[in-house]
Amino acid sequence: MTDPHASSADLAYLGVGEIDARLSEGSLTSHDLVSALLARARALDAADSPLHLRAIAALASDALAVASERDAERAEGLRRGPLHGVPVVIKDNIEALGLPGAAGSTSLAGRASRDAPLVTRLRDAGAIVFASTNLSQWANIRSVRSTSGWSATGGLVGNPWALDRSAGGSSSGSGAALAAGLAPLAVGTETDGSIVCPASVCGVVGLKPTVGVVPATHVVPISASQDSPGPMGRRVADVARLYGVLSASEAPPARSVRFGVAGNWRTDHPATDALFDEVVASLRGAGHEVLVRDVALPGDQEGADELAVLLAELADDLSAYLAQRPGEGVASLADVVAFEDAHARVELAHFGHDLFEQALASGGRAGEAYAPARARNLAWAIETCLNPALADVDVLLAPAYGPSWKSDLAVGGHPGPASVATMPAAIAGWPIASVPMGLVHDLPVGLAILGRAHSEWSLLEAARVIEAVVDSRGGMPRPFWSPPTRG
């Protein structure tokens, strides 16, 4: 079907550069833009909407007032920064004054919050923090049977391309909001795949920066060694502008990028892998040298080690975060488990908290399993996998995920076909991005780009080149808004 709220679609899909230009010339105001996005969100995302998108966790009550303030500042010749008057949505595990920051859990509903440092950077750059986005509850670390995109506070996020399919996880609402034209920019978080996955299956661009480049203070944590907030948008230039603000950095002079391809990192979804090969061939056809090599694949030990590390760090980091968050309520992971047991009809309606229970039993970083698992994990990810793969190239390419899978709360909704691209970057804490490479069966699929620590601007330049190649092949349309289907 066509855009279900076409009256606002023209404003909804403006890029940040075009928004900035129209604001500067006076043909658009931030107040008008925010008003249109609010109307679109209420039409497409409200609880009583037949679309059941559920991408938005909460709308900021001061969004229109801040938009008017930005318009007045612009009229006086004041421009706070590169996002002056531009609406941005943030994942609901990020604290911001006036928004829940609940990580999808009713245990944090109504809890006081603060502006996380990354939110302060957004506001200082002139952005309008417009809304928070729904997510996989607790960033998808609660159960091996979880359904990506579901939270107790927000329900199940739909994918605008096909409403009964997953928007990925755990930054599902951020990816869906961008694809649906509810905001031009979003902030997600990733521990392993949580930006790359929704970016890939929603047909948008996402970047997980090197751990520590974007501050994670006042962001509900999983793992200090792997958590990273990062920018998401519909075009690479928009993501680059947002990354510059979040990282407090500027793009260096442009230079050519040397490409490598992980020839043995496949999704095992034939049409997705074939499309990846076509895009790589087009990249070569455009004059870019692309080196192909086999790259180390993870085995059972690497997966078990990563889970052991994440659960141990979760036990320590989430408890420490909850103990210092303002307001009364749960103050430790053990408190959360007790709360969810006491409110099981809401919190445990579709799956349990088995991973939380394993985290409590792990002993945290002091547990005997943590240190050797972390050492083995880092040695594999960096020395065995990434360093050899990136030895004579700047970035490494692989297919990210296959087409989105149907969501199923009865049996769980874990990802369908995927390469292993997110895992080594996650363990190492190195950057990874996803850029749309086209459609498979009328559903978007992404191309993953990996690089060395602190090589984000090289990844973004590589993403820009790949985006241009995809554009030359016909580019990415807007979502088709397919209704739910049987089978």
Looking up tokens 């679309």, which residue turns up? 51
CA nearest 129: which of 167, 100, 163, 160? 100
Phi-psi region of 131 (alpha: psi -120 to 50; beta: other; left: phi over 0): beta
Among residues 8, 105, 166, 170, which one is catalytic?
170
Pairing mode, strands 87-91 and 128-133: parallel
For residue 399 the two structure tokens come to: 């297919």
Check the CA dihedral 220-130-100-217 and report its sign.
Answer: positive
3-state secondary structure of 149: coil
User: How many Å apart are CA 166 and CA 182, to the nearest integer?
Assistant: 18
Active site residue 170: yes
222 residue type, one letter: I
Among residues 194, 200, 223, 247, which one is catalytic?
194
Active site residue 91: yes
User: How many Å apart are CA 79 and CA 482, to the nearest integer?
Assistant: 40
Residue 27 main-chain phi, psi, to 5 deg: -85, -5
For residue 376 the two structure tokens come to: 């083995």
DSSP state letter for 400: -
DSSP state letter for 380: I
Among residues 8, 91, 247, 434, which one is catalytic?
91
Active site residue 194: yes
Strands of 100-194, DSSP E: 128-133, 150-151, 155-156, 158-159, 162-166, 185-190
Whether the CB-CB separation of 209 and 106 falls below 8 Å is answered with: no
User: How many Å apart are CA 267 and CA 13, to the nearest integer?
Assistant: 30
Known catalytic residues are 91, 170, 194
